[in-house]
A and B are shown apart, each in its own frame.
Chain A
Amino acid sequence: MSIVTVQLGQCGNQVGQELFDVICEDGQKEVYQGGSGTERFFHHNTTGELTARAVLIDMEPKVINHSMSKAAKSGKWRYGETSHFSQKQGSGNNWANGYCVHGPRHREAMEDVVRREVERCDRLAGVVTMMSVAGGTGSGVGTYVTQCLREAYPHSFILNHLTWPYSTGEVIVQNYNSVLTLSHLYGLSDAVLVHENDAVHAVCARLLNIKHISFGDVNGVIAHQLAGILQPALTPDSYGVYSRNPLGELVSSLVCHPEYKLLSVCSIPQVASSSMAYSVFSWPGLLKHLRQMLISNARMEEGIDWQVRAPPVQCGGAESARSFRATGFNRSLANLLILRGKEVFSAEADGLQEAALYTSWLPSREAFSVWKSPVSFNKYERSATLVSNSQTLLEPLDNMVRKAWNMFASRAYIHQYTKFGISEEDFLDSFTSLEQVISSYTQLG
């Protein structure tokens, strides 16, 4: 089964291009038996070239042109000649402009490009949309397009991949745009997978030792982690055959309740190529670190707080919520571990299945899943990716909502949104629904 990717706005189109690069590189190295990674993300065009099952959408042409020519220059894969839609003038960092103006105006054209891509698939596993939440096009048009996809493909899985802005970002209204995007997507999406630019930037600086970090570096890390999830793997029920429905499996292992659908990702190991030669990784070592990263809410392998322990199995409600703050313990609702590489079938992941890590209302057997593949991924002999539905994103989400709310208190910038048809009440609705999400995740504690 195949996945159609819809890349929106500058960020979506840049991250998407990087993702296909990684998948193409990785997929050509070894052939996965059964549904190959190549078929999942690519098809062959009439002249036999590997072509991404992707749609590129932006309201200005520069970035799309750049991504398309970069792909073509790789000599390995390309974007479809007509699989893009662009206009001349961006949405000016205004969610309302994207959602209320550009989206509806170009609905038909955008739906057409997506439909063409979908019809090329023998079977559609689902759609992945990729975008930032801080600008105008990815966030606003992206939300609108997700809404259209939900209508057009009611039975397909939709995974929204979102890039969250630097907390001191370059778009002043980023928190408004983020709040509007998240609140709307929450009702539409099957799962919302988040990368925070701050966290990824830190990986580039501290683990990969990159001096002058560019978006290309940041996107490389995001693409690595995403491909780690989306490349073929064996699931417990797939009986030795590579799973054919990765999005469905992902959603069913991680999103068991519509109130909880914020997923974060972390990967291990991540090291600079120059230090690869000196690093030795064993499964027990990797998994021990990964477990501690999870429970102590560390976003990378450096600076893990080893003092944090899982509390004794749940004593209940408010009490444990308080102890979460005190100990820095990150409670999970569900986790999905994906292991790739040598001797993968001998890897023991029991530490991540302990009941103490999870809420009392979902047995840890159901809360924790493992996928495996004996094929080494990217440059690593052994690597692990953890997708987590936990409290990890609670703090950044809370900060985002707090900053937006403080701005909203003085009604700053609201006129920029009302002029395109988003009212103060719409803002209030969005705040209300995100406060509800925050409250739900807080209560996991």
Chain B
Amino acid sequence: MTQSIVVQVGQCGNQVGCRFWDLALREHAHVNKEGVYDEALGSFFRNVDSRSSGAGTCDIGGRIHRLKARAVLVDMEEGVVNQIVQGPLRDVFDTTQLLTDVSGSGNNWAVGHMTYGSAYGEQIVEKVRRAAEHCDCLQCFFLIHSMGGGTGSGLGTRVLGLLKDEFPGVCRIVTSVYPSEEDDVVTSPYNSVLAMRELTEHADCVLPVENQSLVDILTKIRLMSGPRIKTDSSLASGGPGGRTEKPFDSMNNIIANLLLNITSSARFEGCLNMDLNEISMNLVPFPRLHYLVPSLTPLYSLADCHIPPRRLDQMFSDAFSKDHQLMRTDPRRSLYLACALMGRGNLQLSDLRRNIHRLCSVPPVGHAHSLLALSNNTCVKGSFVALRGRYTRLYRKKEDGMEVGLFSQAAESLSSLIEEYDGLDRTSSSSSPSLDAPRLKMAA
């Protein structure tokens, strides 16, 4: 069994990460009733016996002593991380896994990427290295960050480059939260465009999530279910003692669910075993085009038990509908380069023969089954074009002291990415899909 390390950077990265660890613990508690430290748990957690002198990691198969997340938490201010280590999850992290500064990056990508990157890069890598040493076979990094701020966007992408240099064989899957159009961070288009270049160059896969989509989805759920969300649903943030929900919590739970589902078939047994490195192998036909739009179903029944469960086949079509995408795009109107469906729960091989791709037998907490789709679809281009538009408008009234070279390189990188998607759209509309490429001729 392989292991993964989560690197969460900035406010958003840490808040999303925090929801992920909470749900992951709940999921394993639900499945693993005996309290045995098994390989599934081992993929994201170490089992530390604090009574033994070296506080070393215990072997698979023993009792659970104290679970420690395979994670590195980075923020350039203290607030969010402090809250986490004082909150209900305090036991899963210890101080050696944390790295904070006090003043934040002030929503400035360059401060995060350059200033803090140079100051802390080596220390962060050192912490990751220590986490890696605890892994028996490190397969994947999950980087979680936002695009719009300074730390997650700037320092996060700096860390991404460092991981590539230091651990070239380990897959890098990045969850990137894109700002909504009316984001309160004025500089978010700058930060996002600058970060995009790094993601395009250094990530194996990016799972883009747009805050506006999460808001839309939650609005729909509330409309359907009334104000109360089922408390034990995986959308609710169930801290012990009914702690009050924070503004981003339910949005972040959706993202956390996405991460849980992606990793589920690597963690649990399934009839079609999936390795995380198969994601990029199957979904990334061209190295730069590795933006995989996620969709989750059933979102609605996730929130409320009174809505009848979605029929299986309905779930499959939902996975492709506009309403279930975590980016504001409509994949059905664009070109699919590749797509994976990852089902969980009591789905059969024969259901899946209708085109499902991955299967894992353990359903998410509280549900019979669920489906995650990852679409490599030219529809993301739309979001990128819109982002470039906002960037250009902002750039016209640019302030002094900006590093012009950096900006133009980033803008160029984004434009050439958009052009690459355009090129594929053009070839698909000009040539009929049934047309075969002329084959090699053999002499008789």
Alpha-carbon distance A435/B437, docked complex (angstroms) = 14
**When the two chains form the complex, which single residue of A215, A409, A416 contacts B437, counting CB atoms closer than 8 Å?**
A409
Number of A-B contacts (CB under 8 A): 98
Query: Which residues 407-422 in A have Cβ within 8 Å of B in the complex?
Result: 407-413, 415-416
- Interface, chain A (partner B; CB < 8 A): 10, 60-63, 88-90, 92-94, 136, 166, 168, 170-173, 201, 211-215, 401-402, 405-413, 415-416, 431-432, 435-436, 438-439, 443
Which residues from A are CB-within-8-Å of B275?
A: 60, 89-90, 92-93
User: Are A435 and B355 closer than 8 Å at their CB atoms?
Assistant: no
User: Are A170 and B358 closer than 8 Å at their CB atoms?
Assistant: yes
User: Are A212 and B348 closer than 8 Å at their CB atoms?
Assistant: yes
User: Are A439 and B442 closer than 8 Å at their CB atoms?
Assistant: yes
**When the two chains form the complex, which single residue of B1, B350, B356, B442 contacts A88, counting CB atoms closer than 8 Å?**
B1
- 14 A–B pairs (Cβ distance < 8 Å), ordered by A: A61-B1, A62-B269, A88-B2, A88-B136, A170-B358, A201-B353, A214-B271, A402-B436, A405-B439, A411-B286, A412-B285, A412-B286, A413-B285, A443-B444
Alpha-carbon distance A410/B284, docked complex (angstroms) = 13
B29 at the interface (CB under 8 A from A): no
Which residues from A are CB-within-8-Å of B278?
A: 90, 92-93, 171
Which residues from B are CB-within-8-Å of A443?
A: 444
B402 at the interface (CB under 8 A from A): no
Contact A410-B273, Cβ < 8 Å, known A92-B278, A172-B338, A212-B348: no
Contact A172-B437, Cβ < 8 Å, known A60-B275, A213-B350: no
Alpha-carbon distance A211/B349, docked complex (angstroms) = 10
Which residues from B are CB-within-8-Å of A213?
A: 348-350, 353
B103 at the interface (CB under 8 A from A): no
User: Are A168 and B281 closer than 8 Å at their CB atoms?
Assistant: no
B370 at the interface (CB under 8 A from A): no
User: Are A436 and B427 closer than 8 Å at their CB atoms?
Assistant: no
B102 at the interface (CB under 8 A from A): no
Question: In the complex, given contacts A212-B349, A402-B439, what are 20 additional A-B residue pairs having Cβ atoms less than 8 angstroms apart?
Answer: A60-B273, A60-B275, A62-B273, A88-B2, A90-B278, A92-B275, A92-B281, A93-B275, A93-B282, A170-B357, A212-B350, A213-B348, A215-B271, A401-B439, A406-B437, A409-B437, A416-B280, A416-B284, A431-B440, A439-B442
Alpha-carbon distance A261/B272, docked complex (angstroms) = 30
Alpha-carbon distance A171/B277, docked complex (angstroms) = 12
Query: Which residues 280-316 in B have Cβ within 8 Å of A in the complex?
Result: 280-287
B186 at the interface (CB under 8 A from A): no
Closest to B435 in A: A406
Return A86 CB to nearest CB of chain B, in Å.
11
B224 at the interface (CB under 8 A from A): no
Alpha-carbon distance A439/B440, docked complex (angstroms) = 11
User: Are A415 and B281 closer than 8 Å at their CB atoms?
Assistant: no
Alpha-carbon distance A93/B274, docked complex (angstroms) = 10
Which residues from B are CB-within-8-Å of A407?
A: 285
Contact A415-B282, Cβ < 8 Å, known A89-B275, A215-B349, A406-B436: no
Alpha-carbon distance A171/B355, docked complex (angstroms) = 11
B31-55 Cβ-contact flags toward A at 8 Å (1 or 0): 0000000000000000000000000
B335-355 Cβ-contact flags toward A at 8 Å (1 or 0): 001100000000011101101
Alpha-carbon distance A408/B440, docked complex (angstroms) = 12
User: Are A432 and B440 closer than 8 Å at their CB atoms?
Assistant: yes
Contact A435-B353, Cβ < 8 Å, known A60-B275, A90-B275: no
Closest to B348 in A: A212
Return A382 CB to nearest CB of chain B, in Å.
31
By CB atoms of chain B within 10 A, which of A88, A136, A171 has the most?
A88
Alpha-carbon distance A168/B271, docked complex (angstroms) = 17
Which residues from B are CB-within-8-Å of A406?
A: 436-437
B234 at the interface (CB under 8 A from A): no
Which residues from A are CB-within-8-Å of B285?
A: 407, 410, 412-413
Closest to B424 in A: A410
B137 at the interface (CB under 8 A from A): yes
**When the two chains form the complex, which single residue of A10, A201, A402, A409 contacts B273, counting CB atoms closer than 8 Å?**
A10
Closest to A62 in B: B273
Return B195 CB to nearest CB of chain A, in Å.
23
**When the two chains form the complex, which single residue of B2, B280, B337, B358 contacts A89, counting CB atoms closer than 8 Å?**
B2
